[in-house]
Amino acid sequence: MSSSPKNYWIRNPNFLENQEDAILISDNKGKLLDSNSQAKELGLVPEKNDLKHSSWYPELSKADSKDHTHLTLHLSSGKRRFICRTIPILVDEKEPAKAFYFRDITERSFSEAKAKRYETLFRRRENRIKELEIRDKLTGLFNREYMIESFQAELHRAERSGSTIGVVYLDIDGLKEINETFGNSGGDLLLKEMGRILLENSRRSDISSRIGSEKFLLLLPGAHKNIVLERAEKIKRLFLESSSNGSWGEVKINVSLGVAMYPEDGSTYDILMQKVQTGN
């Protein structure tokens, strides 16, 4: 698009028709002097050749010739998106006027929006797949592999910052008997309940996981020992209260509990895991 303000157009219809963009030319009062077929096909040409009442005119009539204005218009041809320019010209080498250029980018915008939407969906799917890979399907907690990686990462972080990590280990006693007596569905109910209680009683920074059939681990980065102990006892109490409502017959359900603190009880994953599982 040329931006020369003088002798730009001398009523040459071939010039307008040879342009890729839709073009309308008006005098300084908004009266339409000329247009090309592209403008007519898009529905940009008003019936009475008066552009002042067009929705786009107030903005474009004041636009600088160097500006590129993005507009979305509802026309007879449908909803269209344009990049527009307003260029001052002289009509017949003497009368000041304006040429309004409309480059239709509707299809391009649609394609870009579609591509962006697909990219968003793809990323969501990727994130969903990744989430499934690190989550235990039954309880919704993190799985053992993710817990080990997270545990090591938290240890490195705590070592650098001089902070603490609380480690809580929970083992459901009686799950094997429940499975033998009531089937795996009975045991699954207990496991899901433990998962729910852990998720509902964890901070955003905590990491709760199922690390074995009936074994669970909760990391509390930065927590003080008294908070860790209180949290451990609360989770155990809530689980026992909940499981007492089940019809488990003579099967006794309990929770073995272990608590350890970094660095007080150890500085490595192996030592801390031994501490919480054996109490030694």
Same domain, 146 and 273: yes
Contacts 24+ apart (CB under 8 A), 149-152: 150/207, 150/209, 150/219, 151/207, 151/219, 151/269, 152/269
Neighbour tally for 161: CB within 10 Å: 10
pLDDT tens-digit series, residues 200-254: 999 999 999 999 999 999 999 999 999 999 999 999 999 999 888 777 767 889 9
244 within domain boundaries: yes
Q: Are residues 160 and 240 in the same domain?
A: yes
Cβ proximity of 41 and 77 under 8 Å: yes
pLDDT in tens, 45-65: 998 889 998 999 999 999 998
Q: Whole-prediction pTM value?
A: 0.58
What is the DSSP-derived secondary structure letter of residue 63? -
Residue 267, domain extent: 133-279
Instruction: Based on the fold, state whether residues 155 and 266 are members of the same structural domain.
Output: yes
Q: What is the mean pLDDT of the chain?
A: 88
